[in-house]
Structure 1
């Protein structure tokens, strides 16, 4: 079994890791929420020190000018796509941020190049708070899964799925996969968000995160059969309990918003997630920068994936007294990742 050292990248929440060929590509929410950057490395443990290429920055005003959240990098039909959420102003009358989902495209072989093009907003039937778009191509069909607020349903967000006409356009009506209903999904906020797809054998799994982004944050699981109609809610089974959650014994709190990749030799599935190693959060947890990216090995049982528990850190991390530099660069004492302009 591969052995990794945590955290793999400091101060990067909502981590997304894609292995393409021999390279790992990493992107995540920047703690300043003002840009999208990509790192590339040959090994998971080398991502912290890998150069960080800023490929897009927020607009000065308008719909993509605030709170750039949760970018994901995907390879579809020979092109690269980044799905992300962005806001125009602080809050809607409902009290939610004004996020909508957007897409960037790059047809170069190298996704760290400067040739990214804005493809625009992903339009959904309800014009409401929406974020955390992820995509998967199954048997030649591309699907989008995302989190969105339905004004008719209590809570912040539910998870939806739709087939896509192209990487930035829905082809079918959204279908709700899950809404916050269990106690563990409704702590501080009623939230289902951050979906990620894992394939294994004849099963399709979707993990998601629930509750407020502090200590209660935890990961849930949906399961469907490969070949089933994924747009039929009846095809999906939802776990009534979280499958990955806070482990106080290991000093790991509020794990979630994960992605999946594979080990360097391709033999093991890996879960990439963010987590804090303290509970004394000052102010809004969203603006505490120390949700670090971490990795765990997924094991397989007759009942499906076993994500274990968040493992203790064995590398240096910032403390609550460390302050993020104004330029968004690494803290003093951290292994620096060179960053382009």
Structure 2
């Protein structure tokens, strides 16, 4: 893979998970927003040409029949789950889309086979726009992290965390971790979304994306000590500057909505993200298909903090 060459073209909100079976599993938003697509391969590079399997397709009508966004595949409690957001319509209500969060489940060892069952909506206790769910396990507790609009707070979405009783049922009330408040989080839209979790150096890190999904889109970071109460917002520290952003010189614009995986030999951490190679988008950026999936290595500083570097640096074989 060479500099600025996408791993996979026209796949936004990319998620790559390396399972204990040695396979990498990939899913992302497809340009049509009408299905959940899965791939798997023995290498990260192999995902580019891997077989594409439709795990689930949206119904023609109903609460989750439009705009299938940001799927993530996880293996929780001995089964596969894909968490995603969907809306009943493409229309805006009070200036917001109407997404809620859902999940599907597959108990087959290979999630590209077997049958996916629809689990229903993930209830958070707030009936508002929400999306971009991810999960992670820490000290024996499964956590759910996502983005949601909260009445009374300016903006489109904040980042929340809650423990899970089951992979589809929250065990406690949401705790708000960060809101869009800084200049680089509020360009075009007031947004904190797309959380992704990585644990390293005795810390728990949550990256997230801010601003509109054009060249202003960028990645921020909050973190907590691994021994802290992750459900206490006071445990989390927010970095006041973006840690990954547009690099006009290398023609990498709006890098964001990332996930994390590891190299084939498990020795290096890998950042997975989408970006565009140009800024002059015709029409609404939402419907532009040219957000491509890129991957690059993460470095780690002596202080234990991640160094995301420049979007132009991609994995090299």
TM-score (norm 2): 0.96
Deviations 1:109-164 (A, max 9, x none): 01111411111100111100000000001111000000000121111000000001
Aligned-partner SS, 1:286: helix
Aligned-partner SS, 1:108: coil
Cα distance in 2 between the residues matched to 1:140 and 1:116? 26
| 2:27 equivalent to 1:7 | no
Residue 210 of structure 1: CA displacement? Answer: 0.2
Cα distance in 1 between the residues matched to 2:314 and 2:171? 43
The answer (yes or no) to whether the contact 1:6–1:295 under 8 Å persists in 2 is no
The answer (yes or no) to whether the contact 1:209–1:257 under 8 Å persists in 2 is yes
Deviations 1:47-101 (A, max 9, x none): 1111100010001100110000000000112110100000001234311111000
Cα distance in 1 between the residues matched to 2:198 and 2:261? 9
| 2:142 equivalent to 1:142 | yes
Match of 1:325 in 2: none
Match of 2:202 in 1: 202
Cα distance in 1 between the residues matched to 2:114 and 2:33? 20
Cα distance in 1 between the residues matched to 2:225 and 2:83? 26
Structure 1 residues 177 and 272: CA distance shift in structure 2, 3 A: same
Match of 1:72 in 2: 72
Aligned-partner SS, 1:104: strand
Cα distance in 2 between the residues matched to 1:314 and 1:143? 30
Residue 28 of structure 1: CA displacement? Answer: 0.1
Aligned-partner SS, 2:249: helix
Deviations 1:218-245 (A, max 9, x none): 0000010102100000000000000000
Cα distance in 1 between the residues matched to 2:23 and 2:156? 36
Structure 1 residues 224 and 3: CA distance shift in structure 2, 3 A: farther
The answer (yes or no) to whether the contact 1:5–1:45 under 8 Å persists in 2 is no
Kindly report the root-mean-square deviation, in angstroms, between the aligned alpha carbons of the 2 structures.
1.6
Match of 1:298 in 2: 298
The answer (yes or no) to whether the contact 1:206–1:222 under 8 Å persists in 2 is yes
Match of 2:312 in 1: 311
- Tell me which moved more, 184-193 or 2-11: 2-11
Show structure 1 runs of 4+ deviating over 4 A: 2-5, 312-315
Superposed counterparts of 1:264-303, under 5 Å: 264-303=264-303
Aligned-partner SS, 1:47: helix
Aligned-partner SS, 1:208: strand
Residue 201 of structure 1: CA displacement? Answer: 2.3
Structure 2's unaligned 5+ residue stretches are none
Residue 3 of structure 1: CA displacement? Answer: 7.9
Superposed counterparts of 1:19-30, under 5 Å: 19-20=18-19, 21-30=21-30
TM-score (norm 1): 0.89
Superposed counterparts of 1:118-267, under 5 Å: 118-267=118-267
The answer (yes or no) to whether the contact 2:97–2:129 under 8 Å persists in 1 is yes
The answer (yes or no) to whether the contact 1:190–1:210 under 8 Å persists in 2 is yes
Residue 213 of structure 1: CA displacement? Answer: 0.1
The answer (yes or no) to whether the contact 1:5–1:314 under 8 Å persists in 2 is no
The count of residues paired between Structure 1 and Structure 2 equals 314
- Tell me which moved more, 92-101 or 293-302: 92-101
